[in-house]
Structure 1
Amino acid sequence: MTDDDLVRELWAALDGPPDAPERITRDRAPTALDRAALPAAAPARATVAVCSLAAAELAAARSGGPVPRVRVRDRAVDGAFRSDRLVRLDGRAPVTFAPLSGFWRAADGWVRTHANYPHHRARLLDALGLPQDAGPSELAAALAGRDAAATEEAVYAAGGLAVAVRDRDTWARHPQGMAAAAQPLAGRRPLAPGGAPLPPPGREPGYAAAGLRVLDLTRVLAGPVATRTLALLGAEVLRLDAPWLPESQDALDDTGMGKRSARLDLATADGRAAFGRLLERADVVVTGYRPGALEALEGLAPEELAAGRPGLVVAQLSAWGRTGPWAGRRGFDSLVQAASGVALTERAAGPADTPPGALPAQALDHGTGYLLAAAVLRALTRRHRTGEGSLLRLSLARTAHTLLHTDVPVQAPPPVPFVEPVLREAVTGRGRLRYAPSPVEFTGGPRDWSRTPGLWGADAPCWEGTPH
């Protein structure tokens, strides 16, 4: 398989016209993604390519012009896939993983934990019978005598996040691994027909999503990457978070480009009423909560969302997929890497007790984010042409399956150091922000966001220009 073959495979999964990939130009360079044991660089380039194609296609559909050419620059892809690690505010590096998040030796293998958020940390310690002030040494001692799979189940039962580290063959035989492999890469079914054609962009034709409104109910990291991309293309993106769920400002400084951020309690009648008013003018709703969580709240199932909004696009993102025994579980990129065999494939050469490894970036998150944005953009093109809405479903586990079964040859490490990405800086009200530019590029398209991130939850839960 070549890079071109992979792009065509992903584009076909999005039901894109087969001749579109011919419009891609590539600027190649050795990057940090080439250091992976798996061919991580090729899917990264391919997901950005199909996202750029989908954006170019929508821009052409709305403006009535020809589909622009797309350019994929390896340095831009590399920077974007590591953007959560490269972002700086006044030179300060972000905190990416908490002390209790990582790989730990178990009695029969390894366990990967995720405890970045305070509530996840508390649940992890409760599940293991540890005091809330326990540190890494206490956690290591508690896990060392426990079975990895039993720990996985106990922590999940307590509402925490931990998985047993598996190799790729074990995952392929696991019920959830089989369920993920059987799912489409970007599932779609019709929803809410009768939508009107989208109006012309109203400014430069390259702003494919100009004038469209997106409700962003996602958190770290794939969903915010997707909605950050829609914001780049001119959409008004309003991120909504539950007031009681904390969020990292570092994460928002990376993925909040172009967006506003508000807090809204959807568990209350007032909160759902406010959401209903927002929905009346929304074109896209993107959710990243575990399957069933939002549907359990009155009026928030996809069909209910679309009932009064013909042509609505609802995009649902999950960690493990919509089917299988883990469908309702929480998850993050690091956990999916560990469970699916990616982490053991990336283990560095060394003694038998060498810890599992990781990709040079949270590539499942970022890759799924660009696929999700591409699926939304293609659904908007469909809505423009036919009036049909869409329900879209993607998962990190299905993206991992694609990575594990991509046979694009891994390039040998370059004889010279990899080429660093080009970063940008902007002066904000909170300091000087360094960030990675978007890799989504096509002729006439935007090259930067219209605004830098503000403070988490500081905006009113209303569309711009409307009263709160």
Structure 2
Amino acid sequence: MDNTVRGGTESLWSALGGDPALLDRVEYGGPAGVLPARLPVRDLARATVAVAGLAAVERAGLPGPVRVDEGAVATAFVSERHLRIGGRAPVNFAPLSRFWRACDGWVRTHANYPHHRAALLSALGVRDGAAGVTETVAAVAAAIGERTAVGTETAVYAAGGLAVALRTPGEWAAHEQGREVAARPVLTRERLDEAPPRRRHGPLRVLDLTRVIAGPVATRTLALLGADVLRIDPPGNPELPDQHADTDVGKRTSALDLNRRSDLRAFGELLDAADVLVTGYRPGALDRFLTGTGRPGLVTARLSAWGDFGPWGGRRGFDSLVQAATGIAVTEGSADAPGALPAQALDHGTGYLLAAAVLRSLTEQDRDGGSRLVRLGLARTGHWLTHALPLPRVPGDTGGGDPVRPERHLAESDGPLGRLRYARSPVAYEGGPADWSRPPGVAGADAPRWLTA
């Protein structure tokens, strides 16, 4: 067996508190030429999928084997690129989500959501009027070109938008948030009380308060494995349609305004009956809605971009921004021409790792009881990628082998959104599900209640 593959899986399985004897249940195969990069993205992808599968067979009491097919992994890690909705390709990045030249370097912005776009333009003093896309892009470029990279970062975050200055690995290592991230493990696991083991009837109930890729990848993986996953979004700010089509397969979705007393009461009833709560909003954003809610024995998984610690502990963030801030974009390109990983691997990898953490927490809870809390962050996964795994022997090396044939790992289905082409889950094992039980529905159209047992 490839020692690099085994090493990455061993590292994550140990962080999850798993029994090392189970590692022999994982089998690796498929084409080797996947996810070429200067950093060991291929190893991160295989290892995160492997531990998700291993945690699933452990919880199900199955012998395995867990089969990690590199072609399936590579296809799933760019699932958003393979998605087709009635033959139409998705929109993955808006025109204002990109790198920009500042007067002293580069800045990466994220403006896919309308409110983030508005905050970016406000911070830069660019009018969000009737000007076309070309004119708006030119105005933003001119405004950032007159500012420093860090000055832009500071101003945009202060306005509620998202922008980070491009940093080298050394600059991130010296940054206070970088030091905080480096001082912590890839994930943390806590037992919060001595609640007895829970008695569950019917499918696992997972309340999903996440957005974009990492959290939804975790919860769609739990849905694949039979959980009743109910995603909640605010009615005035639903998930972007193409993101919903890609990551809400297998789930139900409801709209609740938690600032309304009746909706907050309905949310509290859902949470009281939930087995798992997964959150992916910036740290602290949901605290006022969660205080005093939930019953003993709940497994809570908290996902953030930068971690819930350090000077950036309350900041929003996305995979592309974390790559820029932490030096990954410089490593994959240069300080003069920033690059990117071949996939939003921090998102996807953290998603599969989060699913594994939830499953391991449930397995431990069934045995020992106790409410559980796991915390993961994109920056922590990024640090694991850059510091825990050996670099490829040749930059961009994929190990050779046959090319990936993504069509082997794609499927099509008809549903409320029309004809969808989508990537199948790479989490596969003997006796496990081959596909999701339902396509994504109309966003927010499901009733806010659990399925009956």
CA contact (8 A) 2:33 2:401 kept: no
> Equivalent residue for 2:92?
96
Q: Which of 230, 238, 247 in structure 1 is aligned with 2:222?
A: 230
Q: 2: distance between equivalents of 1:310 and 1:193?
A: 9
CA 1:385–1:336: 2 relative to 1, 3 Å: same
C-alpha RMSD of the superposition: 1.8
| Structure 2 match to 1:207 | none
Whether the aligned pair in 2 keeps the contact of 1:117 and 1:246 (CA below 8 Å) is no
Deviation, 1:184, is: 2.2
Secondary structure of 1:36 counterpart: coil
Q: Given the superposition, is the C-alpha separation of residues 137 and 183 from structure 1 closer, same or farther in structure 2, using an over 3 Å criterion?
A: same
Q: Say if 1:249 and 1:455, in contact at 8 Å, map to a contact too.
A: no
Q: Which amino acid aligns with 1:381?
A: T
Query: 8 Å contact 2:181–2:380 — kept in the other structure?
Result: yes
Instruction: Pick one of 445, 448, 454 that aligns with 2:432.
Output: 445
Q: State the distance in 2 between where 1:188 and 1:48 align.
A: 19
Q: Is 1:362 equivalent to 2:344 in the alignment?
A: yes
Residue 70 of structure 1 and its aligned partner are, at CA, apart by: 0.8
Asked if the contact 1:310–1:389 (Cα under 8 Å) also holds between the matched residues in 2, the reply is yes
Q: Residues 454 and 218 of structure 1: is their aligned pair in 2 closer, same or farther, counting only changes over 3 Å?
A: same
When structure 1 is superposed on structure 2, of 409-418 and 373-382 the one drifting more is 409-418
Segments of 5+ residues of structure 1 without an aligned counterpart are 61-65, 201-209
Q: State whether residues 192 and 312 of structure 1, in contact with CA within 8 Å, keep that contact through their aligned partners in structure 2.
A: no
More deviation, 329-338/66-75: 66-75
For residues 438 and 393 of structure 2, the distance between their equivalents in structure 1, rounded to whole angstroms, comes to 37
Query: Contact 1:105 / 1:144 at 8 angstroms: preserved in 2?
Result: yes
Displacement, 1:277?
Answer: 1.1
Q: Deviations over 1:90-117 (max 9, x none)?
A: 1110000000110011111100000001
Once the two structures are superposed, the pairs formed by residues 139-154 of structure 1 within 5 Å of their partners are 139-154=140-155
In the other structure, the counterpart of 1:263 is 255
Q: Does 1:73 align with 2:69?
A: yes
The range that moved more, 415-424 or 130-139, is: 415-424
Aligned to 1:12: 14
Code of the residue aligned with 1:179 in structure 2: it is E
Length-normalised TM-score, structure 1: 0.91
Contact 1:194 / 1:311 at 8 angstroms: preserved in 2?
yes
Conservation of the 8 A alpha-carbon contact between 1:51 and 1:374 = yes
Partner of 1:176: 177
Q: Once structures 1 and 2 are overlaid, which stretch shifts more, 178-187 or 367-376?
A: 178-187
Q: Is the partner of 2:232 in helix, strand or coil?
A: strand
Which SS does the other structure have where 2:428 is aligned?
A: coil
1:198–1:420 distance in 2 versus 1, CA, 3 Å:
farther
Letter in 2 for 1:324: G
Equivalent position to 1:347, from 327, 333, 351: 333
- Does 1:407 pair with 2:419? no
Query: How many Å separate the matches in 2 of 1:137 and 1:408?
Result: 38
Match of 1:374 in 2: 356
**Contact 1:195–1:312 at 8 Å: present in 2 too?**
no
Q: Cα distance 1:213–1:415, how it changes in 2: closer, same or farther (>3 A)?
A: closer
Select which of 98, 105, 108 maps to 1:109.
Answer: 105
Query: Which shows bigger deviation, 186-195 or 7-16?
Result: 186-195
Number of aligned residue pairs: give it. 441
Q: 2:118 aligns with which of 119, 122, 132?
A: 122
Secondary structure in 2 aligned to 1:305? Answer: coil
CA displacement 1:250-304 (0-9 Å, x = unmatched): 1011101110011111122222210111122210000011111111x14x04xx3
Match of 2:191 in 1: 190
Q: CA deviation at 1:146?
A: 0.9
Overall identity of the aligned pairs, in %: 57
Partner of residue 405 from structure 2, selected from 420, 429, 439: 420
CA contact (8 A) 1:26 1:71 kept: yes
Partner residue of 2:241?
Answer: 249
SS of corresponding position for 2:270: helix
1:227-259 Cα shifts (integer Å, max 9, x gaps): 000000000000000112132111011101110
AA partner of residue 446 (structure 1): P
Residue matched to 1:86: 82
Q: Aligned partners of 1:16, 1:59: CA distance in 2, in Å?
A: 14
TM-score, length of structure 2 as denominator length: 0.94
Report the counterpart of residue 461 of structure 1 in structure 2. 448
CA contact (8 A) 2:44 2:349 kept: yes
Shift of 1:32: 4.1
Contact map agreement 2:276 2:298 (CA 8 A) in 1: yes
Residue 362 of structure 1 and its aligned partner are, at CA, apart by: 0.5
Larger mean CA deviation between 400-409 and 94-103 belongs to 400-409
Amino acid at match of 1:5: G
Q: Distance in 2 between the 1:420 and 1:358 partners?
A: 22
Q: 2:34, 2:70 within 8 Å by CA — same for their partners in 1?
A: no
Once the two structures are TM-superposed, the CA of residue 461 in structure 1 deviates from its matched residue by 1.2
TM superposition shift of 1:414 = 6.3
Contact 1:99–1:135 (CA under 8 A) maintained in structure 2: no
Question: Of residues 239, 251, 261 in structure 1, which corresponds to 2:231?
Answer: 239
Distance in 2 (CA, whole Å) between partners of 1:433 and 1:42 is: 29
Amino acid at match of 1:142: A
Matched, 1:328 2:314: yes
Compared CA separation, residues 105 and 453, structure 1 to 2 (3 A): same
Matched, 1:288 2:280: yes
Counterparts of 1:24 and 1:177, CA distance in 2: 33
Return the letter of the residue paired with 2:438. Answer: R
Q: What SS does structure 1 have at the residue aligned with 2:20?
A: coil
Whether contact under 8 Å (2:306, 2:377) holds in the other structure is yes
Q: Which residue of 1 aligns with 2:132?
A: none
- Unaligned residue ranges in structure 2 (runs of 5+): 130-134
SS at match of 1:92: coil
Q: Distance in 1 between matches of 2:273 and 2:196?
A: 12
Instruction: Indicate the SS of the match to 1:26.
Output: strand
1:389 matched residue in structure 2: 371
Partner SS for 1:321:
coil
Following TM superposition, by how much is the alpha carbon of 1:126 offset from its aligned partner in structure 2, in angstroms?
0.4
Q: Which ranges of 4 or more aligned residues in structure 1 deviate by more than 4 Å?
A: 197-200, 413-417
Whole-Å separation in 2 of the counterparts to 1:414 and 1:186: 29
Contact 1:42-1:408 at 8 Å conserved across structures: no
Q: Post-superposition shift, 1:420? A: 2.5
Determine if contact 2:322/2:378 at 8 Å carries over to the other structure: yes
